[in-house]
Structure 1
Amino acid sequence: MDRLITHLRHVDLAVPDFDTQLAFYRDLWKLSPETTDTGIAFLAAEGSPEQYQVRLRADADKRVDLIAFGAGTPGDVDALAEKLGRDGVTLVSTPDKLATPGGGYGFRFFDLEGRTIEVSADVATRAHRRVEEGESVPVKLSHVVINSPQPEALVAWYDRHLDFRLSDTLFSPHMGEMMWFLRCNPQHHSLAIARCPHVSLHHASFELRGIDEYMRGTGRLLRAGVEKVWGPGRHLAGNNTFSYFLDPQGNTVEYTTELECLDEDTWHPSLYDFTNPEVSDQWGTANPMSEFVAKKSFNDPDRGVFVAPPV
């Protein structure tokens, strides 16, 4: 497979209330602030070699600054930039040394709907550690799900330009196809696309060590009074656990574990009817999938469409 993108690196969010957001991700969500400066913070997951997995930036507008992916080599970065340029994709920047923590070599471009995407290689790894039994801290950023008013076209765009492959699709008999799970490696999904009236972040998901740690983390957030959207439960597509919460700015964030790894040579995508309760939650422990749950994850329309972040 000649895929140039290897994995998900980080998701970068801009928020009006920076201090409250930083306190949430540090004190409750349990990410580690690696580098903080006035109005910007780089937050790492304890078990991940990535320099950071969430970047927070103070801004008057709530927006997704960018979603970042890794590539194998600087040559792969150049090859992808050349391919995208040839295909008429708008490059925000050309391949060059990165000034963010860990450095590296990368570039940025707009996807079909104007999200800023970064692809990089040769980023220095962070001193990370094995998360121990009972520690309810994120091991890594698992996946990012984005909302789209034209999801079929967006799925085709990520397939054509970035070689993301479809793992599974969710549908309902009265609404049609609603969510597409896309992979850039054997993990069931690093990116997913949900149907929504507007462009926005659906959720960012963080992997915990195992079921016990995932439940402890879920319980910590419940005890702290963080608004739970959906969970705890276990999805059928991806076979992963889920507990969805709202951060202080109304973004949905998820604790998960045990996301399925696929044999890409033999995998065939399934079409799952999510009105079947066992598709949404195999365990039957989560609150039912409802209009409330769906609307909470619609989020506010993204204010950063076709506007590259200043940093």
Structure 2
Amino acid sequence: MSSLIKGMAYVRLTAPDLGRMQAWLEDFGMVPVERTETRLYMRGIGDSPFLHVTELGEPGVASFAYELADPDLLHAAARLPGAQGIDTLDAPGGGKRVRLRDPNGLWIELVTGRERADPLPERPLTRSGEAESRVVGPARVRRIAHTAYMAQNLSEVIDWFHTTLGVIPSDDLVLDEDDLLGRFARVDLGDELVDHHVIFMLRGRRTGMHHVSFEVEGVDDIFFGYDHMLLQGADHVRGIGRHALGSQIFNYWMSPYEQMHEHWISQERLNADSKFNRVRIGEGMSYDTGERPPRRFVEQATPLSVEVNA
């Protein structure tokens, strides 16, 4: 089957201080769009009207939002079990959405019809008469790429995302043949090339968001973004490195409210016919580069803000 969705739209987090969150996200590489007393919208350099929302509240994750693969699928989405019906998205760019909860109570937003924003100018790659081969300042975030979701009920979560959203498996991580640790799942758009995964679902002792990932403008952004974040005293978790699965260059940072964000870029693409692999931890990860993942990274899970009804 083809996927109900074509990719991520935005992530919705919660935090007790929107000003502090805005400052951190600007250092991370985003641009403010709109801020009220209770809500902050941030964008990247691409044409999405926003890709990050922070609601005022206790630290947590409120929802994962996905773009429907076709506007005509909105009414089909509204017929999904537990769907809350179609409503108007009260946010920059407008649009329509359907909301429903996954097996753990995490809100999933399925959106379409958002008015696109004008992309921001790209960084010049040709040196002018006055320029130098140096760049300082934040990385430039282009778009939201994926989330990683830790769950105690991994099999139930995997079944729900496959059945409800129509994602398909790219790679499984296993400890042995019958011991599944995690699944990378991508969207199915037929012959169209897509990212290695739109969600990574992994088993853990807690349930919550492991991280949210944002593609940057170019690989250089990973490196000068790293320097900028360190100069600002940001909380670095892991990187710079390269994941074996997905061929991704990564760097992970923790927000002031224990919500892990990733700078990410990858050139590997898959389509519906790409091979599915089961990869044993250890030998199968021999091409992962960078330092050994710290315990903090492995056990990270931002709690669900299930009370948010945005």
Instruction: Supply the distance in 2 between the matched residues of 1:115 and 1:196 (Cα, whole angstroms).
Output: 16
Whether the 8 Å CA contact 1:234–1:280 is kept in 2: the answer is no
TM-score by length of 2: 0.88
* Total equivalences in the alignment: 293
Is 1:269 the equivalent of 2:276?
yes
Amino acid of the structure 2 residue aligned with 1:56: T
Instruction: Supply the distance in 1 between the matched residues of 2:177 and 2:238 (Cα, whole angstroms).
Output: 22
Query: Counterpart of 2:131?
Result: none
- Map of 1:57-72 to 2, 5 A cutoff? 57-59=55-57, 61-72=58-69
1:57–1:280 CA distance, 2 compared to 1 (3 A): farther
Query: Counterpart of 1:287?
Result: 291
- State the identity %: 22
- Map of 1:16-95 to 2, 5 A cutoff? 16-26=16-26, 28-46=27-45, 48-59=46-57, 61-82=58-79, 84=80, 89-91=81-83, 93-95=84-86
> What SS does structure 2 have at the residue aligned with 1:161?
helix
Instruction: Supply the distance in 2 between the matched residues of 1:72 and 1:272 (Cα, whole angstroms).
Output: 29
1:280–1:104 CA distance, 2 compared to 1 (3 A): farther
Deviation at 1:170, TM superposition (A): 1.8
Deviation at 1:63, TM superposition (A): 2.2
Deviation at 1:281, TM superposition (A): 5.3
- Map of 1:140-159 to 2, 5 A cutoff? 140-159=143-162
Is 1:176 the equivalent of 2:179?
yes
Amino acid of the structure 2 residue aligned with 1:16: P
> What SS does structure 2 have at the residue aligned with 1:219?
helix
Deviation at 1:178, TM superposition (A): 1.9
Instruction: Supply the distance in 1 between the matched residues of 2:38 and 2:23 (Cα, whole angstroms).
Output: 13
Deviation at 1:112, TM superposition (A): 1.5
Question: Unpaired runs of 5+ in structure 1?
Answer: none
TM-score by length of 1: 0.87
Deviation at 1:273, TM superposition (A): 2.8
1:12–1:291 CA distance, 2 compared to 1 (3 A): same
1:280–1:41 CA distance, 2 compared to 1 (3 A): farther
Query: Counterpart of 1:125?
Result: 116
Amino acid of the structure 2 residue aligned with 1:2: S
Instruction: Supply the distance in 1 between the matched residues of 2:286 and 2:33 (Cα, whole angstroms).
Output: 36
Deviation at 1:136, TM superposition (A): 2.4
Instruction: Supply the distance in 1 between the matched residues of 2:74 and 2:153 (Cα, whole angstroms).
Output: 28
Deviation at 1:71, TM superposition (A): 1.3
Deviation at 1:19, TM superposition (A): 2.2
Whether the 8 Å CA contact 1:74–1:105 is kept in 2: the answer is no
Amino acid of the structure 2 residue aligned with 1:6: K
Between stretches 68-77 and 199-208, larger displacement belongs to 68-77
1:32–1:281 CA distance, 2 compared to 1 (3 A): farther
1:131–1:258 CA distance, 2 compared to 1 (3 A): farther
Deviation at 1:189, TM superposition (A): 0.7
Instruction: Supply the distance in 2 between the matched residues of 1:202 and 1:227 (Cα, whole angstroms).
Output: 16
Amino acid of the structure 2 residue aligned with 1:39: T
Instruction: Supply the distance in 1 between the matched residues of 2:60 and 2:69 (Cα, whole angstroms).
Output: 28
Query: Counterpart of 1:211?
Result: 219
Query: Counterpart of 2:170?
Result: 167
Amino acid of the structure 2 residue aligned with 1:213: D
Instruction: Supply the distance in 2 between the matched residues of 1:4 and 1:130 (Cα, whole angstroms).
Output: 32
Instruction: Supply the distance in 2 between the matched residues of 1:194 and 1:131 (Cα, whole angstroms).
Output: 35
RMSD: 2.1
Instruction: Supply the distance in 1 between the matched residues of 2:228 and 2:156 (Cα, whole angstroms).
Output: 39
Instruction: Supply the distance in 2 between the matched residues of 1:22 and 1:180 (Cα, whole angstroms).
Output: 32
Whether the 8 Å CA contact 1:210–1:258 is kept in 2: the answer is no
Question: Unpaired runs of 5+ in structure 2?
Answer: 126-134, 189-193
Whether the 8 Å CA contact 1:233–1:281 is kept in 2: the answer is no
